[in-house]
Amino acid sequence: MSMLEMGRQVHAHSLKNITDKDAAMTNALLTMYSDCGCIDDAWRVFESNDIVDVISYNSMILALGQHAQPKEAAELFRQMKFSGLIPDEQTR
């Protein structure tokens, strides 16, 4: 729980003080929320991401798989391919 609280503080700080969204920070927040069991928060971070790349999709697909949401993970994989992104070794 302390990791979740610290992560929420980092997230709030980044929202207030960082004007340019950083893909690495966004993906780290997504993974942190997922690891703490907050899949809805992970979804919100993913959906608010301006720079959605293969890494973002991989992080969210993994999160969905870890939280017993295989249909949603498969749908997100389909959306990734539809958007023109090419799955990498991590995605497969």
Per-residue pLDDT of the chain (92 residues; tens, 9 = 90+): 577 888 788 777 776 666 566 778 888 889 999 999 999 999 999 998 887 899 999 999 999 999 999 999 999 999 999 999 999 988 77
Residues in the chain: 92
What confidence score (pLDDT) does residue 54 get?
A: 93
88 assigned to some structural domain:
no
78 assigned to some structural domain:
yes
89 assigned to some structural domain:
no
What confidence score (pLDDT) does residue 51 get?
A: 79
Q: How many domains does the chain have?
A: 1
35 assigned to some structural domain:
yes
Domain containing 78: what range?
Answer: 2-82
Which residue pairs, CB below 8 angstroms and at least 24 apart, start in 48-51? 49/21, 49/23, 50/21, 51/21, 51/23, 51/26
49 assigned to some structural domain:
yes
91 assigned to some structural domain:
no
What confidence score (pLDDT) does residue 91 get?
A: 79
21 assigned to some structural domain:
yes
45 assigned to some structural domain:
yes
What confidence score (pLDDT) does residue 20 get?
A: 64
What confidence score (pLDDT) does residue 1 get?
A: 59
